Amino acid sequence: MLGDFRYHNPTKLYFGRGAIVHLREELSNYGKKIQLIYGGGSVKKNGIYDQVVSILRECGKEIVEDGGVMPNPTTEKLAEGIKIAGENGVDLLLAVGGGSVCDYAKAVAASVSCTEDPWKKYYIDQEQPTCEVLPVACVLTMVGTGSEMNGGSVITNPAEKLKIGHVFGSDVMPKFTILDPTFTYTVPKRQMVAGIYDAFNHICEQYFSGEDDNVSDYLSEGLMRSIIASSRKALADPLDYEARSNIMWAATWALNTLLSRGKDTDWEVHMLGQAVGAHTDATHGMTLAAVSLPYYRHILPYGLKKFRRFAVEVWGVKESGSDEEIALRGLEALENWMKELGLAMHISELGVTEDMIEKIADSTLVEEGGYKVLTREEIVKILRESL
């Protein structure tokens, strides 16, 4: 392992069936006013909202409502959340939902006392907060992003057709997160598989970088094998608690700052996927799925050894033939699994047409940690191959 690093993850987790009871003890650490942040209404239908509200009331908290956070939260909604938090002088931002709701809560937390434009400061200029940050906590209802235990916060600016992530530090990461796998039972199948692929791809983005012998790569292979096995069980029976709890836990570890220690990390699939998302508002995991294989086939010659290892260690490909043949069989196995899950395999399925390719390429940021730093021509080629 070659990298030098610090490791500090301050998020406390409560995991398991009925873990919501721990909300009560945690709430005693915060003041009276709680900004209750949620999405488009799923939590009201499945009863999670009622459970949270009744605990808040029992604890004598005053609830400040902030619903309607959309998937791929926008700059406009962020401005609304900042206003609600500022006008009410809230003490805690409680996000009850998926990655979008958690990401949004973090952006509000870092912006409420900030006099600058948060889009420019955090997303365009990638600065860190220089103002007071409100505490955030999370009750996760949809698995995939890892937002429950990281500093990531992705915001979309529809006017500028940009979707950009910012990684905040430990001051913005959730103080605590409640992870009850049964809370994810009502997630529609399409969202479930998108979340599974999102988590899997987070591991890939960290795995496909570097040539050193790194403990993270061994951890990654185990997590990927666990996600593949559990995804098949969850697909057959979405109420399989063991499968859903394994997926939830693996997704948290896929992006909770551990695997990236000592690694360069790639993130180009995310840059391509986010650009597609900025132009289509498509589901995050689907945008990743639709660009992954053309990207991986393109960079395979530059990272051949790792792609060979991926084939053998993650997919059990037999070690016969040339390194390239073995590596390609690994990508075939990945493709078959993705099709089995029912993921979007083409960006045209997400609304992209040929005439949008150049503009999507304009919105694609280039990362430098992977096996090949993409040129604009390569980005266009990969997007065309993803159509």
Contacting positions for ligand NZQ (CB under 6 A): 39-43, 46, 71-72, 97-101, 103, 141-142, 144-147, 150, 152-154, 165, 183-184, 186-187, 191, 195, 198, 255, 270, 284
Q: What are the strands of the beta sheet with 136-140, ordered from one edge?
A: 12-15, 176-179, 136-140, 92-97, 33-38, 62-66
Largest CA distance in the chain: 67
**Burial (CB count within 10 angstroms: exposed 0-12, middle 13-18, buried 19+), residue 54:** exposed
230 binds, among ligand NZQ, Zn ion, none (CB under 5 to 8 A by kind): none
Question: Which of Zn ion, ligand NZQ, none does residue 71 bind to, with CB < 5 to 8 Å depending on kind?
Answer: ligand NZQ
Binding partner of 42, given ligand NZQ, Zn ion, none, CB within 5-8 angstroms per partner class: ligand NZQ
Q: Work out how close the CB of 329 gets to ligand NZQ at its nearest, in angstroms, rounded to a whole number.
A: 27
The C-alpha atoms of residue 333 and residue 160 are separated, in whole angstroms, by 37
What are the beta bridge partners of residue 66? Answer: 37
Cβ atoms 169, 207 nearer than 8 A: no
Instruction: Specify whether the backbone of 68 is left (phi greater than 0), alpha (psi in -120 to 50) or beta.
Output: left
Using the rule CB under 5 A, give the single segment among 37-45, 161-169, 180-188, 196-204 that binds Zn ion: 196-204
103 is a contact residue toward Zn ion (CB under 5 A): no
Sole binder of Zn ion in the list 91, 148, 198, 264 (CB under 5 A): 198
- Distance in Å, CB of 182 to ligand NZQ, minimum: 10
Out of Zn ion, ligand NZQ, none, what residue 181 binds, judged by CB under 5 to 8 A for its kind, is none
Stretches 38-46, 156-164, 197-205, 207-215: which one binds Zn ion (CB under 5 A)? 197-205
CA 295, CA 6: separation in Å to the nearest integer?
31
Closer CB to ligand NZQ, 6 or 45, in the complex:
45
CA 231 to chain centre: 17
What residue ranges bind Zn ion (CB under 5 A)? Answer: 198
